[in-house]
């Protein structure tokens, strides 16, 4: 049986990539068969099927904010998670919140499904009802599904988690700096018709709460959910609101690190992850639970000391430099994924869905997706990952492409570079610095410091050809291209405004 939703852009540029220094497994991938995988000779290998998935997502965390990713902050629980699993060091997300969350839960480039912009309360668009999200697929496979934190795939109730595969939700519809228009009942209670709502399923249950409660609420609700469903399969999605500004940290962690508010927030997230992991251990669930940790985008540098660090990469949130889109990623499955392993093979948030479908025996979406199954890489059956390309979009603008070790920055004038840097919670400003065509060797130069385009015209040509194929499929505002493979976004009414 041939999977119908292979990555079409990759397939189209097969001949281009074949001549690059790295090659990719372009061919069709067999559909997931629970309990059985095949090696290169097609010989069946027994493969355990995971019963549970815990997916942690941090918000605006820098690549090197974690100790095991070269950071200076103390993150002992996340370091232990890495020591017990595999670190993915070329894991790509998207430069802003909504697109990354859409990619993670649909397996698609956000541009394919109209989810490329940041969604806010003034928007009447959101994730389309016809898209099959990861929680829907897992629920069909017998999983209880819960989300404890930030959603951000639509502010209008019809787009909320319970309408897209989750059984239970506690959290915020968007970012922690996104106020919503409140129903009269709550407006009277808080004395304002706007506020940051905290929601249980489809009901607002709190408004006007301090930012300091957000991390512990996600932790406690996640643990409650795991305890309640310990005897059945479960998917526990924990998209923390932090360390997105405005920072908030519980009293217990205020001043804990002596390194400032940002470090305190990271310490609380680390401890929250530790508490959830301790719960899994207590319930003897370590060996049948896949645990994943990553961020949705890079650090927000315009907030200065209230933002994170992406070194050795350049750039941060809203940028397609590596610092904006390269996330630390850890995948743990005790006894199955090699402890203390790492891979620098390219991987992406949109690969999580097909990977988990394989590892849990869930179905794949019926519509075309862009993700690859990383399970052979994670299980140590191969050192070569399935992904050899990445398209770096900012909203609907294709700003850069990568094939193998080579990254080509395409000319654009929307670089969102920090100008004035804020401090202690004050927001800085951005400026647009023109970006000209530039070729970087990411293996030798992860900081994108030396433009090699002059000496490698053939490589530049291949990357430009790849960029053109991506534009044909997914569109590009910079070159006024419409994508043939783009599907409609969900809307409440026609005429929704997208920015």
154 token code pair: 């639509």
Cβ at position 191, least distance to Ca ion in Å: 30
The piece of 92-100, 112-120, 152-160, 445-453 that touches Ca ion (CB under 5 A) is: 92-100
- The residue among 10 and 147 lying less far from Ca ion, judged by its C-beta, is 147
| Residue 454 CB-half CA count within 13 A | 2
Q: Of these residues, 10, 77, 94, 97, which one is catalytic?
A: 97
The piece of 27-35, 71-79, 93-101, 163-171 that touches Ca ion (CB under 5 A) is: 93-101
Q: What is the DSSP letter of 270?
A: H
Q: Site mask, Ca ion, residues 16-45, x = CB under 5 A?
A: ------------------------------
Q: Helix crossing, 352-360 with 97-106: angle to 10°?
A: 30
- The residue among 152 and 367 lying less far from Ca ion, judged by its C-beta, is 152
The piece of 36-44, 95-103, 260-268, 459-467 that touches Ca ion (CB under 5 A) is: 95-103
CB-based burial, 187-212: b 16+ in 10 Å, e otherwise: eeeeeeeebbbbbeeeebebbeeebb
60 binds Ca ion (CB under 5 A): yes
DSSP, collapsed to helix, strand or coil, labels residue 225 as helix
Cβ at position 148, least distance to Ca ion in Å: 17
59 binds Ca ion (CB under 5 A): yes
Which residues, 136 to 175, sit near Ca ion by CB under 5 A?
none
The piece of 58-66, 112-120, 131-139, 176-184 that touches Ca ion (CB under 5 A) is: 58-66
The angle subtended at Cα 342 by Cα 341 and Cα 348, nearest 5°, is 135
Cβ at position 341, least distance to Ca ion in Å: 27
- Spatial neighbors of 61 by CB under 8 A, at least 6 apart, are 243, 266, 269, 295, 299, 308, 327, 328
Binding Ca ion (rule: CB under 5 A), the pick from 24, 54, 93, 97 is 97
- The residue among 270 and 296 lying less far from Ca ion, judged by its C-beta, is 296
65 binds Ca ion (CB under 5 A): no
CB-based burial, 389-412: b 16+ in 10 Å, e otherwise: bbbbbbbbbbbbbbbbbbbbbbeb
Cβ at position 363, least distance to Ca ion in Å: 29
| Residues 433, 438, 442, 446, CA torsion sign | negative
CA distances from 153 to 1, 222, 391, 396 (A): 33, 20, 21, 17
Which residues, 324 to 353, sit near Ca ion by CB under 5 A?
none
> Is 10 a known active-site residue?
no
Cβ at position 265, least distance to Ca ion in Å: 14
The piece of 14-22, 56-64, 437-445, 482-490 that touches Ca ion (CB under 5 A) is: 56-64
Question: What is the spatial distance between Cα 459 and Cα 264, in angstroms, rounded to a whole number?
Answer: 45
- The residue among 297 and 409 lying less far from Ca ion, judged by its C-beta, is 297
Strand 52-58's sheet: what is its strand order? Answer: 203-207, 197-200, 168-171, 144-148, 234-239, 52-58, 289-295, 326-332, 86-92, 341-348
The piece of 49-57, 96-104, 164-172, 437-445 that touches Ca ion (CB under 5 A) is: 96-104
Size of the site for Ca ion (CB under 5 A): 5
Cβ at position 8, least distance to Ca ion in Å: 28
Residues facing 36 on adjacent strands: 33, 46
| Residues 223, 227, 229, 231, CA torsion sign | positive
Cβ at position 177, least distance to Ca ion in Å: 11
- The residue among 307 and 490 lying less far from Ca ion, judged by its C-beta, is 307
Contact 43, 281 (CB under 8 A): no
Kindly report the number of other CB atoms within 10 A of residue 458's CB atom.
8
- The residue among 16 and 57 lying less far from Ca ion, judged by its C-beta, is 57
Q: Nearest 10 degrees: CA dihedral of 240, 246, 249, 250?
A: -100
Cβ at position 256, least distance to Ca ion in Å: 23
Q: Of these residues, 94, 152, 155, 301, which one is catalytic?
A: 152
Burial class (CB in 10 A: 0-12, 13-18, 19+), 227: exposed
Which residues, 188 to 207, sit near Ca ion by CB under 5 A?
none
- The residue among 197 and 298 lying less far from Ca ion, judged by its C-beta, is 298
Residue nearest to Ca ion (CB): 97
Q: Nearest 10 degrees: CA dihedral of 318, 171, 181, 424?
A: -50
Cβ at position 185, least distance to Ca ion in Å: 30
Q: Site mask, Ca ion, residues 240-279, x = CB under 5 A?
A: ----------------------------------------
Contact 437, 448 (CB under 8 A): no
296 binds Ca ion (CB under 5 A): yes
> Is 24 a known active-site residue?
no
388 binds Ca ion (CB under 5 A): no
State the catalytic residues.
Answer: 97, 152
Residues that bind Ca ion (CB under 5 A): 59-60, 97, 296-297
């Amino acid at each position: 049986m041939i999977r119908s939703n292979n990555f079409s852009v990759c397939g189209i540029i097969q001949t281009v990539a074949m001549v690059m220094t790295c090659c990719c497994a372009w061919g069709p991938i067999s559909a997931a068969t629970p309990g059985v995988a095949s090696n290169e000779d097609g010989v069946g290998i027994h493969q355990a099927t995971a019963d549970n998935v815990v997916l942690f997502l941090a918000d605006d965390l820098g690549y090197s904010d974690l100790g095991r990713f070269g950071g200076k902050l103390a993150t002992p629980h996340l370091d232990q998670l890495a020591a017990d699993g595999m670190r993915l060091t070329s894991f790509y997300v998207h430069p802003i919140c909504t697109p990354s969350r859409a990619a993670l839960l649909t397996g698609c480039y956000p541009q394919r499904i109209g989810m490329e912009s940041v969604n806010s309360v003034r928007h009447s668009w959101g994730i389309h009802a016809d898209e099959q999200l990861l929680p829907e697929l897992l629920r069909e496979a017998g999983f209880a599904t819960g989300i404890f934190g930030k959603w951000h795939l639509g502010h209008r109730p019809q787009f909320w988690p319970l309408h897209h595969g989750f059984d239970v939700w506690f959290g915020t519809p968007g970012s922690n700096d996104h106020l919503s228009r409140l129903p009269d009942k709550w407006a009277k209670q808080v004395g304002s018709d706007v506020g940051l709502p905290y929601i249980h399923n489809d009901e607002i249950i709190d408004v006007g709460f301090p930012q300091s409660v957000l991390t512990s609420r996600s932790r406690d609700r996640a643990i409650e959910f795991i305890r309640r469903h310990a005897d059945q399969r479960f998917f526990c999605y924990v998209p923390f609101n932090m360390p997105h500004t405005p920072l908030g940290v519980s009293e217990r962690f205020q001043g804990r690190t002596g390194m400032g508010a940002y470090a305190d927030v990271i310490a609380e997230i680390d401890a929250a992850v530790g508490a959830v992991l301790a719960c899994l251990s207590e319930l003897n669930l370590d060996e049948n639970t896949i645990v994943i940790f990553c961020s949705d985008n890079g650090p927000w540098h315009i907030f200065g000391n209230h933002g994170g660090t992406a070194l050795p990469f350049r750039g941060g949130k809203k940028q397609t430099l590596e610092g904006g889109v390269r996330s630390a990623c850890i995948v743990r499955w005790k006894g199955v994924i090699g402890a203390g392993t790492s891979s620098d093979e390219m991987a992406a948030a949109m690969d999580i869905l097909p990977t988990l479908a394989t590892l849990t025996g869930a179905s794949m979406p019926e519509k075309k997706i862009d993700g690859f199954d990383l399970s052979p890489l994670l299980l140590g059956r191969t050192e070569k990952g399935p992904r050899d390309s990445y398209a770096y979009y900012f909203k609907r603008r294709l700003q850069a492409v990568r094939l193998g070790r080579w990254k080509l920055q395409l000319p654009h004038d929307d670089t969102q570079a920090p100008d004035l840097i804020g401090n202690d919670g004050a927001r800085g400003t951005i400026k647009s610095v023109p970006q000209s065509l530039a070729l970087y060797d990411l293996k030798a130069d992860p900081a994108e410091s030396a433009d090699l385009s002059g000496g490698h015209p053939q490589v530049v040509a291949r990357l430009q050809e790849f960029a053109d194929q991506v534009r044909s499929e997914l569109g590009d505002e910079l070159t006024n291209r419409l994508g043939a493979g783009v599907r409609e976004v969900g809307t409440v009414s026609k005429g929704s405004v997208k920015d």
